């Protein structure tokens, strides 16, 4: 058997270990209680978030439903005049006064005619190069007409010299314009070929546009 002193020391040690274990157990129980409270709080937050999410979904669904109903009402409003067309036609035989109104509506629905195509006779090699000369001709004629009053004598009759100059100039200009027309008629096929090239041209870079414009310029020169 052990002495009493050793038994007391062992007993004291066991008592201390027991007290430490009890304190640790109390601490763990407190932490467990706090964790349970935290879990309950988090569950309440999750339930609140779910309720808020469901509320948002219901609001979105109501908005979609209302927009869908509004679209249906608009479609029904648009279809209402179409359904009334047979009634208009039915009254057309009974009441002849409605005929002009129906005709005006039918004419208003017709699309506008397409714009006229550009004249191809104005294109050509020399017509493109001589466009400034034609402008100068127009300016000279308008300038000469503006100064016509200076060429009239006191009796209001043009002088013979002015008449001769005017007739000669008109003849020269007429010959010049006829030369342009004949030149355009002579190169008509080449002009149509260039027009088809311009219509079918597609570009992906500005350098291609510059090359194409230079080629067209060389062909017209």
Spatial separation of the C-alpha atoms in residues 207 and 215, rounded to whole Å? 12
3-state secondary structure of 94: helix
Angle of helix 188-200 relative to helix 160-186, nearest 10 degrees, comes to: 60
Residue 221 has pLDDT above 90, yes or no: no
Give the pLDDT of residue 90: 45
Q: Hey, which of 46-55, 69-78, 79-88, 117-126 has the most confident mean pLDDT?
A: 46-55
Residue 203 has pLDDT above 60, yes or no: yes
Place of tokens 């129906």: 102
Spatial separation of the C-alpha atoms in residues 10 and 8, rounded to whole Å? 5
Spatial separation of the C-alpha atoms in residues 70 and 76, rounded to whole Å? 10
Q: What is the pTM of this model?
A: 0.27
- Domains of the chain by residue range: 9-68, 124-149+157-186, 187-221
With contact defined as beta carbons under 8 Å apart, do 75 and 68 qualify?
A: no
**pLDDT (tens digit, 9 = 90+) per residue, 104-150?**
444 555 656 655 555 544 444 444 444 566 667 767 776 666 555 55
Burial classification of residue 191, based on how many CB atoms lie within 10 Å of its CB (0-12 exposed, 13-18 middle, 19 or more buried): buried
3-state secondary structure of 152: strand
**pLDDT (tens digit, 9 = 90+) per residue, 50-69?**
888 888 888 888 888 887 77
């Amino acid at each position: 058997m052990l002495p009493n002193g050793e038994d007391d020391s062992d007993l004291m040690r066991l008592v201390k270990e027991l007290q430490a274990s009890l304190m640790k157990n109390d601490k763990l129980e407190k932490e467990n209680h706090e964790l349970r409270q935290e879990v309950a709080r988090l569950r309440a937050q999750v339930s609140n978030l779910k309720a808020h999410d469901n509320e948002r979904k219901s609001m979105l669904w109501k908005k979609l439903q209302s927009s869908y109903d509004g679209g249906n009402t608009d479609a029904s409003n648009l279809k209402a005049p179409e359904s009334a067309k047979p009634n208009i036609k039915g009254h057309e035989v009974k009441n002849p006064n409605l005929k002009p109104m129906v005709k005006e509506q039918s004419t208003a629905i017709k699309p506008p005619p397409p714009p006229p195509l550009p004249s191809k006779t104005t294109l050509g090699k020399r017509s493109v190069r001589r466009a400034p000369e034609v402008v100068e001709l127009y300016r000279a004629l308008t300038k000469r007409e503006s100064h016509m009053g200076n060429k009239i004598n006191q009796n209001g009759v043009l002088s013979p010299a002015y008449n001769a100059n005017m007739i000669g100039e008109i003849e020269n200009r007429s010959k010049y314009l006829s030369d342009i027309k004949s030149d355009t008629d002579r190169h008509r096929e080449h002009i149509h070929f260039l027009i088809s090239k311009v219509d079918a041209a597609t570009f992906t870079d500005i350098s291609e546009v510059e090359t194409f414009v230079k080629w067209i310029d060389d062909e017209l020169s």
